[in-house]
Structures are given as structure tokens and as C-alpha cells.
Amino acid sequence: MEKMKAIVCTKYGTPEVLRLKEVEKPSPKNNEVCIKIHATAVTASDTFIRGFKIPLRFRIPMRIMMGLTKPRKPIIGLVLAGEIESTGKDIKRFRTGDQVYGLTGFGLGAYAEYKCMKETDSNYGCLSLKPANLSYEEATVAAYGGLLAFQSMEMGNIQPGQNVLIYGASGTTGTIAIQYARYLGAKVTGACSTSNLELVKSLGADTVIDYTRVHTTEPGVQYDFILDAVGKSKTSKLKDACKKALAPGGKYISIDDAALLLDSKRLARIKELAEAGYLKPFIDRSYQMDEIAEAHRYVETGHKKGGVVIKVN
């Protein structure tokens, strides 16, 4: 039996419950590809799963679904970028050697050297060819932040010249959202804290607002589209003020309003824009597999800039 390295979540708890182990290497079914993973990411979602930080009202159903004392799928991880190592006989979209990126959804399993998954979209993942000009590490940021940002912003039908505000512009989703709004021709405002103002400007924001110091939006300025890119649990006086600065007919969307859609067509669109030079993922920190606990501790602070990645192979 072939073996591989994987990070196993031994029980719900602090980052120390994550252990690097040797486990059985999976082999693809007829309708699956086997991906040799080069990079994965530590997302806010991974820390929720590991720590079982689930709102009270969902705890019982989620424990039944995810596992009572530890995740039923012990290898967690939602995001991957790697190379197709082998394919089942029914695979049509991919060939051995293709460089791919995507999300694993309920299938988890991205914290490993290999992952088998279907080539078709479902709650168990979505996969596309990786942007050729991005590293595997950058591709993980593009996949997670890109899917979240594009999904929300497509609902806004943003037109050139419109005023767009990205609240929480420095996170994984926010850093991609700023660049996408810029690509759409919007006048872009990013809200972030003091230490991230320069980063957000460098990504294309015309105006930046420091949510730690400024508590109101500029008098007279109204926004056609506002994206809350950090979610409902993170707030400030400025965020409350933003909601009141919506133009008539404008749209306010929180990243938490809808479930994340695992959509390979959207991944292909992100690839196109990255290859055309409109999207450049920002990597905050990069860790090795055996530093996973440290990576989780960092992401849990809630202040990562762009993405935090794990180099796998």
C-alpha cells in the first residue's frame, strides 16, 4: 500500500490537534482524478472546522453531519493547487500533467500530498486548470478569495464609473475583490486598518478608509455597490456608516449572505483575468506542512492579509 503525508485533525480543538502523519495514498475511481498537491491554504473556514467554532443553533446538526468529537473526514483543508497525477478511465476534462486549482468542499482533504476528486462540480469540489502565470501558492489564494469575491460581486452588476466600496479590503476575499472591481471599471474604495492602507492602494483602490480611525463615510459620497468581504462577525462604526451610504438602487452584499458556490466556470474566469494581468493574489505568509499549527494560530488572529499558504510538495 502506497503512503503519503497528510495533516490529520485528531479531534476538535486548538491548533495542536493537527498532526502530520503517514496515511494511505488514495487512488482514483473511474470518475475521479488524483491530484498531486503542491500547495494548500489555511482559510478562516479551516479554523472553524478544526475548532468546531459553529454558532450554537447549528452545533447539533453540524456535529451529526461533520462528526461528533472529530471531523469524520480527518484530513481537513478546502483549497488545493497541484498537478493531475493520474485519471480514472471516465475522465474527460483533464489529463495527467495538467496543473489545476480548486476547492474540495465537503470532501475536505486538501491538507495532504494527494487528493482524489471528481472532475465535475458538486458540493464535494470544483476544479479548473490553474492560471499559468501564478505559482501554486498564489493559485490557492485566487481559488478561495476569487470564488468568494466573484460570486458576491456578480450579484452587483457593477458598471464602469460606479462607486464600489469593499469593506475588509485586506483579507483573502477583499484583496481579490479590490482588483476585480478595478477591472470592472469602478471607482474603488477599500476599508481596512492602518497597517494595510498601502497594500490596498497598491492593489488598485482609488480611495482607502482606515476603519480603526474613521467612523463615517465621506459626506455626499454614495456607493452603488458595497461588499462586506470579512463577514458578519467582524464589524466597526465605519461598517455601520457604510450601510447608510448606499446610493438609491444600490446593493449591499455580505460575503456571508449566501453559501459559497463551487463553480469551475467561475474558476476558469478567474484564470482568464489572472492570465490577462488583472488579478495578482497577495500572499501574507507561507508555511511548511509541519508548521500547520502555527499557520492556524496566525489565521485565527483574524488579521491575515491576502492568503496564508502551506507548501506541500
Residues 279 to 308 in contact with ligand NAP, rule: CB under 6 A = 302-305
Applying CB under 6 A, the span of 23-31, 253-261, 263-271, 274-282 interacting with ligand NAP comes to 253-261
Binding letters toward ligand NAP, positions 96-135, x by CB under 6 A: ----------------------------------------
Strand partners, 226: 165, 252
Select from 29, 234, 297, 311 the one that contacts ligand NAP (CB under 6 A): 234
Query: Closest separation between CB of residue 259 and ligand NAP, Å?
Result: 5
Residue (of 77, 82, 105) closest to 33 by Cα position: 82
Applying CB under 6 A, the span of 106-114, 226-234, 269-277, 286-294 interacting with ligand NAP comes to 226-234
User: Which H or E run contains 267?
Assistant: helix 264-275
Q: What is the sign, positive or negative, of the torsion defined by CA atoms of 140, 190, 251, 44?
A: positive
Cα separation of 283 and 113, whole Å? 21
Query: Closest separation between CB of residue 132 and ligand NAP, Å?
Result: 24
Select from 255, 283, 292, 309 the one that contacts ligand NAP (CB under 6 A): 255
Binding letters toward ligand NAP, positions 60-99, x by CB under 6 A: ----------------------------------------
CB 29 within 8 A of CB 17: no
172 binds ligand NAP (CB under 6 A): yes
CB 219 within 8 A of CB 241: no
Query: Closest separation between CB of residue 235 and ligand NAP, Å?
Result: 6
Tell me the number of residues near ligand NAP by CB under 6 A. 28
Select from 235, 275, 285, 297 the one that contacts ligand NAP (CB under 6 A): 235
Q: Which three-class secondary structure state does DSSP give residue 123?
A: coil
Cell numbers representing residue 74 in the block: 480527518
Query: Closest separation between CB of residue 257 and ligand NAP, Å?
Result: 7
Query: Closest separation between CB of residue 138 and ligand NAP, Å?
Result: 15
**Hunting for cell 488598485 — which residue is that?**
204
In this structure, how many other beta carbons lie within 10 angstroms of the beta carbon of residue 183? 16
Cell numbers representing residue 179 in the block: 482588483
Select from 145, 156, 190, 281 the one that contacts ligand NAP (CB under 6 A): 145
Q: What does the angle CA 144 – CA 303 – CA 183 come to, to the nearest 5 degrees?
A: 45
| CA atoms within 13 A of residue 156's CA, in its CB half-sphere | 32
Q: In b/e form, how buried is each residue of 126-138, taking b as 16+ CB within 10 angstroms? A: bbbbbbeebbbbb
Q: Which residues bind ligand NAP (CB under 6 A)?
A: 43-45, 145, 148, 168, 170-173, 192-193, 196, 211, 230-231, 234-236, 255-256, 258-260, 302-305
